[in-house]
Amino acid sequence: MQKLLCSVGLILSATACTQSPTQNITEAQAVRASHYCAVAADYQAPAGTLKAARIAAADFSEPGLYEGPVWTNGKLLFSRFGFEAGFPSNILSYDGQRVSMALADAGSNGLALDNANQLLAGTHKYKAVARFDLNGAARKDLAREYRDNRFNSPNDLTMSSRGDVYFTDPDFQRAAAPGGQDATRVYRIDGTGQVSVVDDSIANPNGISLSPDEQTLYVAGGGEQGFIRAYPLNQGEAGAGRTFLADVTVPDGMAVDCLGNIYVTEHTKQQVRVISPEGDEIAVIKVDANVTNGAFGGEDGKTLYLTGAGALWSINLDVAGLPY
């Protein structure tokens, strides 16, 4: 956890504050954050009401959603899926100038990176958590079912430095392919490929992220009366979840910065709420369309990219973050 060194009252304008981490994340050399977060960096958390800028190159006029952004190899990858039968989905790439096709007909939603920097995806087309090779090699499914039944529509996902994959399985795109579960759940795939349930009590769990020290798993869900739940992790096993943040309206994906702040998208409110590790709101980032997810990228890792309804936004911050 971290101590907030500036007070935030009614937030009316953009300011900045400093957070001091009580644990140096680089002490645990195995955690992913040690690759993206500088040692003793003078990071400043966002504060106030901010506005992200729309990226014109990514404007898309046809109905559909951008989802699952991930920064890798100097580019932002993200899914774009439509609402017609099967929710057809491609993986697109933004290089700072233009948007191009990275992988056609991926059937993907959320994207992440494994510990070898390979692309992972929650796929509704295949009802699986899969690894993709953008160079044309065959897709490899990490998990496709639980108790002999196919998943609903794997949505968002994250991988720990241990190799555990945590993912959400709502029913938003369940109709994309035959089969499905009798409930919506949060799952873990351990290093041996075994699938276990983290939580089966959330109606349509959606966004999922790890804290920088990988001691806490965050899950957003619940729809109009949504929330974020936090689970302590011990050797990959998730303990009982607690309500980390209540009153989140239609929570979607999340991003996490190097100070441990959580950036949760409120889909229909067209905004991102920035929440400190203690659960306090410290900033709000506005966009001009429904918003789905976020990821940090750019040369210094301090650009927050946001995906949404046929739109992509960015905002430069004074803190680096994780690439998905």
Cα 218-12-293 angle, rounded to 5 deg: 30
The angle formed by the CA atoms of residues 120, 134 and 163, to the nearest 5 degrees, is 25
Max Cα-Cα span within the chain: 53
Res. 147: pLDDT tops 60: yes
Residue ranges of domains in the chain:
55-296+303-314
Confidence category of residue 32, pLDDT binned at 50, 70, 90: confident
What's the distance, Cα to Cα, between the start and end of the chain in Å? 21
Output the pLDDT for position 291: 98
Paired tokens of 119:
């692309």
Amino acid at 3: K
Q: What is the pLDDT of residues 205-231, one digit of tens each?
A: 999 999 999 999 999 999 999 999 999
Whether 7 has a pLDDT exceeding 70, the answer reads no
Helix (H), strand (E) at residue 187: strand 185-189
Identity of residue 302:
K
Of residues 14 and 182, the one with the higher pLDDT is 182
The listed CATH number (3.30.499.10, 1.20.1530.20, 1.10.1200.10, 2.120.10.30) that belongs to domain 55-296+303-314:
2.120.10.30
Torsional sign, CA 111, 114, 119, 125: negative
Q: b vs e for 114-142, b when ≥16 Cβ sit within 10 Å of the residue's Cβ?
A: eeeeebbbbbbbbbbbbbbeeeeeebeeb
The per-residue b/e assignment along 258-284, b for 16 or more CB within 10 angstroms, e otherwise, is: bbbbbbbbbbebbbbbbbbbeeeebbb
> Would you state the pLDDT for residue 59?
94
- What pLDDT sits at residue 105? 95
Could you read off the pLDDT of 270-285 as tens digits, one per residue?
999 999 999 999 999 9
Question: Is the separation of the CB atoms in 218 and 206 below 8 Å?
Answer: no
Residue 79 Cα distances to 99, 198, 231, 298, angstroms: 12, 25, 27, 18
Residue 21 phi, psi dihedral angles, 5° rounding:
-70, 135
What pLDDT score was predicted for residue 178? 94
Give pLDDT, residue 277. Answer: 97
Beta-strand pair 44-51/281-286: parallel
Residue 9 has pLDDT above 60, yes or no: no
Q: Is the pLDDT of residue 233 over 70?
A: yes
Task: Say what the pTM is.
Answer: 0.90
